[in-house]
Chain A
C-alpha cells in the first residue's frame, strides 16, 4: 500500500534527521493527513483545560483554571459513573452529551428536529460508518452488495466497504466543474452495476475528501431525489462541515435539505449522517470522538444497530467530551470566551489565507492545476512529463506516488498521491491539508515550488 511506503520512508527520514544525517531541510512537514495538530495547529485551550480537569479533578480545587472550565468539568464528570472518566458509559454515549449533540443538530439545521435515540457516539466517525455498513452489507446474499462511492474518495472508507465484502461502484466527480457531483453520473454508475452487484447505498462526502468541494443545495436535492427514486440508503459523511470558507460556499447538511424538501421524501429517505471532533477547530483526531445520526430508519433495524454498538462497549470518554465541547463552546460573556474567540479566529484566518496562497502558488506553477477550494483539502492536478511517468513505471510505482516520494526525499514534505483515492485513468493528483498555521503553509509552498520546478526540469 502506497501510504505505508510513504509513511515508512517518512519515519526513516525522521530518524535520520535526529541522527544528524544531512538533509536539505531540518524537519519533515507532514500535510498528508486530515490532522490539524500534526501540521502544527494548537489545540483549543478551553477544550484541553476542561479535559485536564476531568482527568485530574484535584485541579477543580484551585484557581489555576478559569471558573467556566471548572464548572464545565464538574458538569461533565457528573455524567460519569462514579464521577470518573475511567468508567464505561451507556452504549450510545453519555446521555447528556447525546442530548447536546441532538440539540446542536437541531440548531444547525434550522429547527429540523433531531432525536437522541437516533444518535450513536463512536470512537471516530469511521467506526460508526463501519457499523452501519455492517448492517447494510448482506454477506449471505447470492449477489455481492454494492455501495456507490465518489471518485476520488477517501481511501479508508473504500477499505471499510470492501473489507465487509461489498463492491464499491464509483461515480466520477467532475474535476473541470470544481469536482461537481452530477446526477447523470450517478445514473450511469448505477447502470454499470447491473448484473455485477446489488447496490444498496450511496456514500457521499460533503465537504469533500480528497477534493475540497462543498455541495450546493441543488446538488444535495438531486442526490436525495436520486436515492429515493432508486431506493438506496444514503450515507452522508459530513465530518469537514466546519472547515468551509470562502464566498458563496456554505455548508448545508443533507438532513436539513431533506427536511426542507418535505414529505414524502422527508418521511421516507433513509439517511445516516456522520460527524466528528477530529476536524474543524478542535482537530482532536487522537481523542476518537464521532457520531452517526440515523434518519427514517426502521425501528426494528435500529434495535440491531444498538446491539452492534453495544458490543463495542462505548466510545472513549475523552472523545465524548471533545464532542460535547465542540457542540457547546464558550459563549460571549464566559470567562474563557475571549481566548476561545482569538484562537478560533486565528485558525479561521489561517485557513482563508492558506487557501488563497495555495491557489495562487499552485496555479502559477506549470504542470499544476487546481480547482477552487472550499473545504479542508487541496487536490491539484499534476500534468507530469512523459519521462517522469516512464521513470515511475520503471520503478513499479504510480506516477503521482513517485512524485510524492521524490517530494519527501528532496523537500521533506509529505503529501498523499491521487492514486490512493481513485482518479480518472491517465490523470494524476496530490492531496494535502490546508488547516495548518500560516507560516507552515508558506514553507510548504516554498518547498513545493522549488521542488516542482526542479522536477519538471529534470524530466523535461
Chain B
C-alpha cells in the first residue's frame, strides 16, 4: 500500500497565476518597504534621440534651472526599479568576460598585447572551442529547414525519414510554427522512451515531460513555482557551494532565500549529508526551506556523485520534505574510472514505493553539453515526478507565457534521445563521432588535472565529469591586500591579471561561491588538446610569476 502523498507543492502554497480578467485589487500588498519617490540621480539621461542633452541633476518632478529650462528625472531609475533585479549577478558572463571582449576588439584593431589571441576558457561552449557537431543531427535539421533537400541524394535515407517525421508533427509542416507550450507531443514521447531506456525500464509518462529553452529555462520556471511567503516563511532553496551561478541569480531575482551547503573539497567535492543537515537546520530559523538543488555531474566542480550518495540525498530530501531539483545536463560527460552517471530518478525508483511514490523530483537535461555541445539551439527538457496535479496545471500555464521553446531545439532534442540505431545508414559514423568527442574530453580532463597539479600553489581535484576544472589557488597576502584595496575579490584580481597578461579568460571562484578564505578559478577543458596544453603551461607560467611578484 503506497503512502498517502502529502504534497510539498500544493495549490495552497504555490503562487497562483490567474486571477480574474482586469482585476484591480483593493488595498495594497503585504510588503514591508514603502515605495520611495525618485531621488536625486547623478546619472546622465543617456543617449537622446536628437542632440545629446546636457547632464542635469534630476529632481522628482521638474525644476527650473538657471536659464529657465525644465529638467526631469527618469521614470525608471535604480531607485524605482525592481530591487531584486539589482541583486542579480552572473559571473560566467560578468565583468571579466566584458573585459575579454574589449581586449579582443583592441587586438583586432592592431593594439599590441603580450598575447596574440584571447582564449575564452570561461564558458562551457564546446563548438566555440572547435568541437565538431554531430553530422547526422545537422543533416536532419537542414532537411527540416529546407525540405526541398529531401530530393537531394547526398543526404542519407535515415536522416530523411527522421526529418519527415519531425515535420509531420509541426503545424503546416514547418519548424516556423508555434508548437504547444509543453513541446511537440511526439518529441515528448521520444524523450519518455529515452528516459525509460536509460533508467533500465523505470516507466516515464510523456505528460511529465516539458521541453524547455535550454535547461536554464526549466530551472527558473520551477523556482518561480516554488517561491512564495514573507519574512520567516519566505521560500529557501538549498544550493551547493560552489554552484552554477544561474541558481544564485534566479534566487536573487525571485527574492528567495539562498541556502548554501558546502561540497567537500578534500573528498573530491562530494556531498556530505551532515553538511546538508547543518545548512538546513540553520536555515529553518529564518526561512522556509522547500527545495534542494543538486548538479550531477557537477558544475563547476566536475564531481560525479556515487550511487550511495544519491540514495542518501534522496532519503534526506524525503525526511526533510524538500523538492529535489536534479540538474543532470552533463549526464554523458563522465570520464573517471570507477565513476558512473546514476540518474536521480532511477535511484529513486530503486528505493521502492515509500520513496518513489512520494519524493517530488524534477530532473533537467539539455542539448548544450554532453557530446552534442549545441548551446546555440537552446534545447532542453525537464521531467516532473510526483508533482501535485493542480500544481502541474499551474506549471503548464506558466510555461505558456513563453509561447513555446525554439522548434529547432525541440527537433534536436528528439534526435539526441533517438539517435541512429544499429543497421541504419548513419549509425556507424554517429558512434564514431560521439566516441571521438567524448574520449577527447576524457583525455583533456585527465591532462588538465595532471598539469595543474604540477604547479606549486595550485591543487586540482580529479575532473571526474562535466567540462571544467575548478582548482584551488594560493594567492599571496600582498596580492590579497592589493585586491581588497581595489575593492576586488582576490581571485577576480588574479583572473583579471591573467587575462591582461596572457589573454586567457577564466571565471574566478568567487563567482561560484567557495569556502571563506579559499580561492579558485573555473577553466573549461574544451580547447583542442594541443591548444589546451599551451594554455595550461601559460597558466603555470603566470601563476609562478604572480606568486613571485607578490611574495
Contact = CB atoms under 8 A, between A and B. Distances in A.
Interface of A: 1, 3-4, 7, 11, 30, 33, 35-43, 45, 48-49, 51-53, 55-56, 58-59, 62, 64, 80-82, 84-91, 112-113, 115, 118, 123-124, 126-127, 130, 134-144, 151, 156, 158-160, 162-163, 165, 167-170, 192-193, 196-198, 200, 231-233, 255, 258-259, 262-264, 266-268, 270, 282-288, 295-302, 304, 307-308, 310-319, 419, 422
Contacts of B24: 167, 169, 192-193, 196-197
Interface in B89-112: 89-90, 93-94, 101
Contacts of B170: 286
Contacts, number: 331
B368 to A, nearest CB: 8
B82 interface: yes
Interface string B149-175: 100101000000000000000111011
A82 B43 contact: no
B84 A139 contact: yes
A318 B408 contact: yes
Nearest to A318: B408
Interface in B453-471: none
Given A39-B172, A298-B77, A304 B85 contact: yes
Contact of B128 (A87, A126, A134, A316): A87
Interface residues of B, number: 107
Interface stretch (B139-147, B427-435, B479-487): B139-147
B408 A287 contact: yes
B19 A118 contact: no
Contact of A135 (B23, B34, B76, B180): B76
A253 to B, nearest CB: 12
B133 A84 contact: yes
Interface of B is mostly: loop
30 contacts: A38-B178, A55-B141, A82-B125, A84-B376, A112-B49, A126-B401, A126-B402, A142-B32, A143-B28, A167-B23, A170-B22, A200-B76, A259-B49, A264-B70, A266-B49, A267-B45, A267-B53, A270-B75, A283-B176, A285-B177, A286-B177, A286-B408, A299-B43, A300-B43, A307-B88, A307-B89, A311-B216, A311-B249, A313-B216, A315-B378
Given A64-B152, A167-B24, 6 more contacts: A37-B176, A49-B146, A84-B133, A140-B84, A296-B48, A311-B88
Contact of A286 (B32, B49, B176): B176
B75 A142 contact: no
B416 interface: no
A307 B90 contact: yes
A82 to B, nearest CB: 4
A112 B22 CA distance: 36
B77 A300 contact: yes
B64 interface: no
B179 A286 contact: yes
Contact of A1 (B18, B31, B34): B18
Contact of A123 (B70, B88, B120, B406): B406
Contacts of A298: 41, 43, 45-46, 74, 76-78
A243 B25 CA distance: 36
Interface in B204-240: 213-214, 216-217
Given A55-B141, A316-B408, A136 B76 contact: yes
A91 B98 CA distance: 10
Contacts of A62: 154
Q: Which 9 A-B pairs have the closest CB atoms?
A: A286-B407, A38-B171, A81-B128, A317-B376, A56-B142, A52-B146, A84-B127, A266-B49, A141-B35
A140 B33 contact: yes
A3 B401 CA distance: 13
Nearest to B21: A422
Contacts of B262: none
Given A144-B28, A196-B26, A302-B46, A139 B82 contact: yes
B406 A318 contact: yes
B268 interface: no
Interface in B295-340: none
A134 B216 contact: no
A123 B90 CA distance: 19
B399 to A, nearest CB: 11
Interface string B25-59: 11011011111000001011111111001000000
Nearest to B217: A312
B351 interface: no
A136 B81 contact: yes
B352 interface: no
A86 B416 CA distance: 14
Contacts of A314: 376, 378
A310 B24 CA distance: 33
B17 interface: yes
Contacts of B398: 163
Contacts of B44: 299
B242 interface: no
Given A35-B178, A138-B35, A140-B33, A151 B22 contact: yes
Given A86-B377, A266-B48, A52 B142 contact: yes
Nearest to A117: B47
B72 interface: yes
Contact of A35 (B47, B154, B177): B177
A140 B72 CA distance: 25
Contact of B46 (A198, A299, A312): A299
Given A258-B49, A296-B45, A139 B255 contact: yes
Nearest to B254: A139
B83 interface: yes
Given A86-B374, A140-B83, A319 B130 contact: no
B80 interface: yes
Given A55-B138, A123-B406, A267-B49, A316 B82 contact: no
Contacts of A141: 29, 31, 33-35
B438 interface: no
B375 interface: yes
Nearest to B61: A231
B378 A144 contact: no
A318 B149 CA distance: 18
Contact of A162 (B19, B31, B142, B177): B19
A267 B246 CA distance: 36
Contact of B406 (A118, A288, A313): A288
Contacts of A259: 49-50
Contacts of A159: 17-18, 397, 400-401
Given A142-B31, A318-B406, A297 B23 contact: no
Contacts of A263: 48, 50, 53
A137 B24 CA distance: 15
Contacts of B373: 86
B508 interface: no
A1 B49 contact: no
Nearest to B149: A52
Nearest to A132: B76
A121 B139 CA distance: 27
Nearest to B77: A298
Contacts of A160: 401
A304 B31 contact: no
A193 B403 CA distance: 29
Nearest to A8: B180
Contacts of A87: 125, 127-128, 375-376
Given A139-B255, A298-B46, A316-B408, A85 B376 contact: yes
A11 B179 CA distance: 12
A138 B251 CA distance: 16
B400 A262 contact: no
